[in-house]
Amino acid sequence: MTQDALKAAVADAAIAEITPMLEKSTVLGIGTGSTANLFIDRLAPLRDRFKGAVASSDASKARLEALGIEVFELNDVGTVPVYIDGADEVNGALEMIKGGGAALTREKIVAACAERFICIADGSKRVETLGRFPLPVEVIPMARSYVARELVKLGFEPVYRQGVVTDNGNQILDCFEVMIERPVEMETRINAIVGVVTNGLFAARGADVLLLGTAGGVERVT
Ligand code: 5RP
């Protein structure tokens, strides 16, 4: 099976997972990326069965609205019962690296407000140890060089993602060369650097459910 077919399979599985909980008052949290897009496309035919969505990026907001799904501000919603999103890497503890699409900060905010986080990923994203995928760190632009020097002290090789401005008007440093043995600790350490908005480790708040697309079918991991 192709990677795209595996992504489609987990998007289908996520639809099956959330359909029983849809009510007229339900506002879903929706992630960002190609896997999340496949989920959004499959959600569209169900649009009359729930109230709407909170989006983790301008791109997902535009896609949801184009498909007739109303998008709400998180501040007006408070919490969402479930957040559905992809990942760049996920380990056995359902800790993740996210932010390949530069949406990590809003993704982390919506995930923080979600009662349940369902991660949808093709099998290539499953790793034993996080870190082969470069860890994205969103920074305030004027702090970029300072933050990069601090990340070097932690062992990383940070690379400025040229030409990318996040939905929040910030920049991204992609951090190479560290295999992350203790993700919660590393997430906290990086967030403590002045000028960091957030980093792509989703460990303190990992996923609750992983729907993993494999050649043998979709595995449901909790
Ligand atoms: C965007 C993300 C995505 O969830 C992550 O990059 C996975 O993307 P895809 O589903 O396209 O493989 O964190 O910031």
DSSP 50-97: S-EEEESSHHHHHHHHHTT--B--HHHH--BS-EEE--SEE-TTS-EE
Is the C-beta atom of 31 inside 6 A of ligand 1? yes
- Let me know: does 187 contact 172? Beta carbons within 8 Å: no
Residue 98 Cβ inside 6 Å of ligand 1? The answer reads yes
Whether residue 103 has its Cβ less than 6 Å from ligand 1: yes
What are the tens digits of pLDDT across the range 39-98?
A: 999 999 999 999 999 999 999 999 999 999 999 999 999 999 999 999 999 999 999 999
> Which of the listed residues 3, 35, 108 should we mutate to test ligand 1's pocket, taking the one with most ligand atoms within 8 A of CB?
35
Q: How far is the CA of 107 from the centre of ligand 1 (A)?
A: 10
Going by their DSSP bridges, the two strands 209-214 and 117-122 should be labelled as parallel
What is the pLDDT at residue 65?
A: 98
**pLDDT of res. 1:** 87
Token reading at 190: 């990086």
Averaged pLDDT, 112-117: 98
Measured between alpha carbons, how far is 207 from 116 in angstroms, rounded to an integer?
7
Give pTM, 2 decimals: 0.95
Supply the DSSP symbol for 134.
Answer: P
Single-letter amino acid, residue 119: C
Which ligand 1 atom lies nearest to the CA of residue 120? 10
Residue-wise pLDDT for 1-45, tens only, equals 899 999 999 999 999 999 999 999 999 999 999 999 999 999 999
- Give the integer Cα–Cα distance in Å for 147 and 34: 29
Q: Is the CB of 166 under 6 A from ligand 1?
A: no
Question: Burial code of 189-210, b = ≥16 C-beta within 10 A, e = fewer?
Answer: bbeebebbbbbbbbbebbbebb
Of ligand 1's listed atoms, the one at least distance from the Cα of 104 is 14
